[in-house]
Amino acid sequence: LAALQSRTLCTTCLSFPLLFQCAVPLAQRGFAAEAKKVFVRDKPHVNIGTIGHVDHGKTTLTAAITKVLADAGGTRYKKYEDIDNAPEEKARGITINASHVEYVTPNRHYSHTDCPGHADYVKNMITGTAQLDGCILVVAEMIMPGEDASLILTLRQPMVLEKGQRFTLRDGNRTIGTGLVTEILPITEEDQVNWG
């Protein structure tokens, strides 16, 4: 033990072995500025997050928010690669653990949580959203390729639909989905609208 102690001297005070506490006070080791630095909160704080399906652009949006605010002087820019920085996240190209970034606007201080969207990591997403004041729901497409979804639609205008009829959902010139009418539900009094 004495041989080990004699070879492992503290690089700060050069007199005590590393097995014991260093004799040089914290203030003289160069850490005093960090230790005494006090965070001043002069703006309201908001916890916000991005949630949504895998590959819809949650991390990309988070990086874009930090880029825009960094250009305006409100934060430090965090690249996409820096937000998803765990090796397994980089290897798979998906967010596994919730990541955190901070930014400031003229009116508020934000703590932003980028939540995972993959079905295997729902537990991590729920954990990440537990303290949020609000969320940004990121939806790239209503239904992603290869997914099946059941929709119940209330039409704004009356139209003739038959069971088995194919339909296309459009937003302007963009097709956002196609489908097949599988069931037509009867109109109830609550559903009736005065079209007059």
- Predicted local confidence at residue 142, as pLDDT: 62
Residue 59's nearest CA partner among 100, 12, 120 is 100
| Alpha-carbon gap, residue 57 to 94, rounded angstroms | 10
123 included as an active-site residue: no
59 included as an active-site residue: yes
Residue 153's nearest CA partner among 180, 115, 116, 132 is 180
Is 111 within 8 Å of 121 (Cβ atoms)? no
Q: Where are the alpha helices (DSSP H) in the chain?
A: 2-7, 32-36, 58-71, 80-83, 87-92, 122-129
36 included as an active-site residue: no
55 included as an active-site residue: yes
**How many residues are given for the chain?**
196
Question: For residue 177, what are its two tokens?
Answer: 């989905």
- Predicted local confidence at residue 160, as pLDDT: 78
Q: CB-side exposure of 167: number of CA atoms within 13 Å?
A: 14
Exactly one of 50, 53, 59, 78 is catalytic; name it.
59
Please write the tens of the pLDDT for every residue from 127-148.
Answer: 766 788 888 888 876 655 556 6
- Predicted local confidence at residue 91, as pLDDT: 62
Give me the residues of the chain with pLDDT under 50, please: 1-9, 15-19, 196
Please write the tens of the pLDDT for every residue from 21-54.
Answer: 555 555 555 555 555 566 677 889 898 888 887 7
**Tell me, what DSSP letter sits at residue 4?**
H
As a whole number of Å, the CA-based R_g of the chain is: 27
Is 24 within 8 Å of 12 (Cβ atoms)? yes
Domains of the chain plus CATH, in order, are 45-138 (3.40.50.300), 142-196 (2.40.30.10)
| Alpha-carbon gap, residue 185 to 149, rounded angstroms | 17
Exactly one of 67, 118, 127, 129 is catalytic; name it.
118
